[in-house]
Amino acid sequence: MRYAAFTVDVDRDANLAERGRYDAGSKAITGVDTLPRFASSGEGLRILSELLEDLGIRATFFLEGDALRDIARHADVRSLLQKHEVACHGICHEDFTGESTGICLTGEQVGQVASESRSIVRDVIGRVPTGFRAPYQHIDDIGLGALAKVGFSYDSSKTEKMNDGKIAPKELDSGLFEVPLACGKDGHGKKIVSYLWPMHEGKRSADDYVELASSFQSGYLVLATHSWHLTETFKSGPLDRAQATLQVEMTRKVLEGMLDQGIRFLPIEDQLGGQ
Ligand SMILES: [Zn+2]
């Protein structure tokens, strides 16, 4: 049996890092207003929850604190996420390593952000998360050490190369598991990462990801997307109904293509619990 995770980052719409700014904004729809927005993220969460229910897939949702609080004001997030694993994605989409903002957080600061984001998820959802994905997937050994220190079981921020069809979680010296995304080849031998971003932005087809999955032989394949990408693209902004339907259908095609290959989806904490 081959196992995979479908993971969803629920964060501010079309998140945008800015130099010298600690928190992230959202790409301006018109003009220069980059204040964070959450409407697409909330709507995408509702759409994905329906799609996953239809396909019988349990997923892992990495929830940004600010996004979760905002979405919870308009929707019953406990119910939308009831069957799925909830995990953390920072509070205001902090860039831990400072790669995009120029503001690097210390280990102590990463630990504070991580434990506070866990409290937000616990308070809103009523369950204690064990997993973390760093905003922008930016994390280094200091950040990983901080996650272990404040009691997280795993991180899923890194991307690793799939070797001979194999990719799997790895236990670090600290006891924290790294559950990486995969980098492999598409049907044309071109590099592809298991993040659906290029598909939503019109640069890749659903078939490319089904092809990546078909080269996966053993371990645990982690797919990732953003909830806002179901109703908005970074390039064009919020989508009309027909365009949004296309995003859902492409996502469905990837997931159905994997199910048809006999791949079984399990939330990350279930997969690690079975090891
Ligand atoms: Zn994010």
How do residues 77-118 score in pLDDT, each as one tens digit?
Answer: 999 999 999 999 999 999 999 999 999 999 999 999 999 999
Ligand 1 center from residue 10 Cα (angstroms): 7
Residue 242 CA to ligand 1 center (angstroms) comes to 25
> pLDDT tens digit string along 168-184?
999 999 999 999 999 99
* pTM confidence score: 0.97
- Angle of helix 39-55 relative to helix 65-74, nearest 10 degrees, comes to 80
Between the CA of 244 and the centroid of ligand 1 the distance, in Å, is: 20
Ligand 1 mean position to 93 CA, how many Å? 6
> Cα of 136 to ligand 1 centre, how many Å?
5
Q: Can you give the pLDDT at residue 65? A: 98
Rounded distance from Cα 217 to ligand 1 centre (Å): 28
Q: What is the pLDDT of residue 274?
A: 72
d(CA 38, ligand 1 centre) in Å: 12
pLDDT over threshold 70, residue 147: yes
Question: How many angstroms is it from 89 CA to the middle of ligand 1?
Answer: 7
CATH number 3.20.20.370 given to 2-273: yes
Strands 166-167 and 218-226: parallel
| Interval 259-273: pLDDT, tens | 999 999 999 999 999
Q: What is the 163 CA–ligand 1 centroid distance (Å)? A: 27
* C-alpha of residue 162 to centroid of ligand 1, in Å: 23
Res 275 pLDDT > 70 = no
Q: How far is the CA of 90 from the centre of ligand 1 (A)?
A: 8
Residue 22 has pLDDT above 90, yes or no: no
Q: How far is the CA of 11 from the centre of ligand 1 (A)?
A: 5
Q: Where are the alpha helices (H) located in the chain, listed in sequence order?
A: 39-55, 65-74, 77-80, 107-125, 141-149, 197-200, 206-214, 241-260, 268-273
Distance (angstroms) between ligand 1 centre and the Cα of 8 equals 9
Q: How far is the CA of 70 from the centre of ligand 1 (A)?
A: 15
Give the pLDDT band (50/70/90) at residue 30: confident
CA 30 to ligand 1 center in whole angstroms: 22
Report the C-alpha gap between 9 and 89 in whole angstroms.
7
Give me ligand 1 centre to Cα 1, in Å: 30
Residue 229 CA, distance from chain mean position? 11
Which residues have a beta carbon within 5 Å of ligand 1, which is an ion? Answer: 9, 11, 135
The identity of residue 30, as a single letter, is T
Taking CA atoms, 111 is separated from 64, 86, 92, 116, 236, in Å, by 15, 19, 14, 8, 35
Digit-coded pLDDT (tens) for 199-239: 999 999 999 999 999 999 999 999 999 999 999 999 999 99
Provide the residue type at 102 as one letter: G
The proportion of the chain whose per-residue pLDDT surpasses 70, expressed as a percent, equals 100
Please give the distance, rounded to the nearest whole angstrom, from the Cα atom of residue 56 to the centre of ligand 1.
25
- Look at residue 1 in the predicted model and tell me its pLDDT: 84
Summary mean pLDDT of the chain = 96
- Answer whether residue 25 shows pLDDT above 80: yes
d(CA 158, CA 155): 8
Least confident of 1-5, 12-16, 136-140, 271-275: 271-275
